[in-house]
Chains A and B, each alone.
Chain A
Amino acid sequence: MKTRMRELRARDGLNQTQLAKLTKVSRQTISLIEREELIPSLLIAARIARVFNEPVESIFLIEEDEL
C-alpha cells in the first residue's frame, strides 16, 4: 500500500509532530505509516483523511493485487 501522506503534509505545511497531535497518535506512528512500514487502522486513516480533507482512498493507495 502506497501513501501520499508526505506530499499532503508538505501541501498543508505540517510536520510529523503537528500531524501526530492532530490525529492523536505518536510521531513514531506517523513516521511508520509514512515510510509504509505500518498500515494504519481504519480509525487513524479516517483521522488523517479528516486533517487533509481528502477521502481515505486518495491518501492510501491500495494496489489491485493487494485486494
Chain B
Amino acid sequence: MKTVIQVLLCAVIGFVVAILMLNNFTIDIMEYAEVIVITLIGIIIILLGVSLKLYWEVKKLYNTDAKWDEEDEVDLLIYKKFADYSFLVQSSIVLSVLVLCTTVITLQSIVLTIIAIATMIVSYLFTIFMTNLIQLVYPERNIPNLSDSKYAEKLLKISDEGEKHVMLIGFYKSYNLLNVGLLIGIVLSTFYSISTDQSQLFSIIVMGLVLVIVNGKYCFSIRNK
C-alpha cells in the first residue's frame, strides 16, 4: 500500500511538472527574495522564542518533586520537550543559513545580512544550551560535548539498547527520506533551470554527489561489519 501511495505521489508530481513546463510556466525566486528573507527571519524568531519557552519548561519540570507514576510522566514529558527543543533549534540553524545565503546572493541590505548572522549565532548558542540542559537533566550520563570530534561514537557508546533502537528507527527513516528528498530536489532544480534559464547544474551535481556519498557511507558501514 505504501509503495502504491509513493508511486502515485511521484506520478502526480511528474504530471504537474510536465503540465507546468508545457505551459511555459516560469518562476523567478529572485523577485521574491526580500519577502522570503523577512518571512524566514520571522519564522526563526518564533522558533527561537518557542525553544526558549521549552528550555524553561524542561528546567521547571526537572525541579518538580514527582513520585510514583508521576515521576515517569515527568521524565517522558522532559524527553518529549527536549526532543521538540532540539528540532526547533536545528531548524532555526538551517533557516538562518538559508537566510544568510539568500541575502548574500541577492545582495540585499546589510541590515538583513547582519540580522541573518545574528540569528545564526543565537541559534548556535541555543545548541550549546541544549547540551547544558541534557547534562543538567541527566547528570549521571556522561554526555559528550557537541564540539567533540568523536561526538557520534561517544553518544552511541553511552546509549543503551532501547535508546539505540529508537535512534536506529529514526535514522533509517531519515536516511530514506534524505534519498527521496534529494531526488525530488534534483528534479525540481532541473525544472527550475529549464523554466528560468538560470542554470542550477552546480546544485544538481552537489545533490547527486551527496546522494552517492551518503549511500556509499551507509553501504560500507554495514558491509564491513
Task: Mark A residues whose CB is within 8 Å of B.
Answer: 15-18, 25-33, 37-38, 40-41, 44
Contact indicator B165/A15 (Cβ below 8 Å) = no
Which A residues are CB-close (under 8 A) to B165?
32, 37-38
Which B residues are CB-close (under 8 A) to A33?
162
Interface residues on B, range: 10 to 19
Considering residues B75, B161, B165, which has the most beta carbons from chain A within 10 angstroms of its beta carbon? Answer: B161
Contact indicator A28/B79 (Cβ below 8 Å) = yes
Q: Which residues 149-186 in B have Cβ within 8 Å of A in the complex?
A: 160-163, 165-166
| Dominant secondary structure at the B interface | helix
B68 in the interface, Cβ–Cβ < 8 Å?
yes
Which B residues are CB-close (under 8 A) to A31?
72, 76, 162
Contact indicator A17/B162 (Cβ below 8 Å) = no
For residue A24, give the distance in angstroms from its CB to the closest CB of chain B: 8
Give CA–CA (A32, B71) in the complex, Å: 17
- Name the one of A16, A27, A40 contacting B161, with C-beta atoms under 8 angstroms: A40
Contact indicator B162/A30 (Cβ below 8 Å) = yes
B69 in the interface, Cβ–Cβ < 8 Å?
yes
Contact indicator B72/A27 (Cβ below 8 Å) = yes
Q: Given contact pairs A28-B166, A33-B162, A37-B165, enumerate 6 new A-B contacts (beta carbons under 8 Å).
A: A17-B72, A18-B71, A29-B160, A29-B163, A30-B162, A31-B76
Chain B residue at minimal CB-CB distance from A14: B68
Contacts between the two chains (Cβ within 8 Å), count: 43
| Dominant secondary structure at the A interface | helix
| Contact A17:B75 (CB < 8 A) given known A28-B166, A32-B166 | yes
- Name the one of A16, A38, A41, A44 contacting B72, with C-beta atoms under 8 angstroms: A16
For residue B141, give the distance in angstroms from its CB to the closest CB of chain A: 9
Which A residues are CB-close (under 8 A) to B75?
16-17, 27
- Name the one of B68, B79, B160 contacting A15, with C-beta atoms under 8 angstroms: B68
Considering residues B68, B162, B163, which has the most beta carbons from chain A within 10 angstroms of its beta carbon? Answer: B162
Give CA–CA (A61, B162) in the complex, Å: 19
Contact indicator B69/A15 (Cβ below 8 Å) = yes
Chain A residue at minimal CB-CB distance from B165: A38
For residue A45, give the distance in angstroms from its CB to the closest CB of chain B: 11
Contact indicator B163/A28 (Cβ below 8 Å) = yes
Considering residues A29, A32, A37, which has the most beta carbons from chain B within 10 angstroms of its beta carbon? Answer: A29
Give CA–CA (A44, B165) in the complex, Å: 14
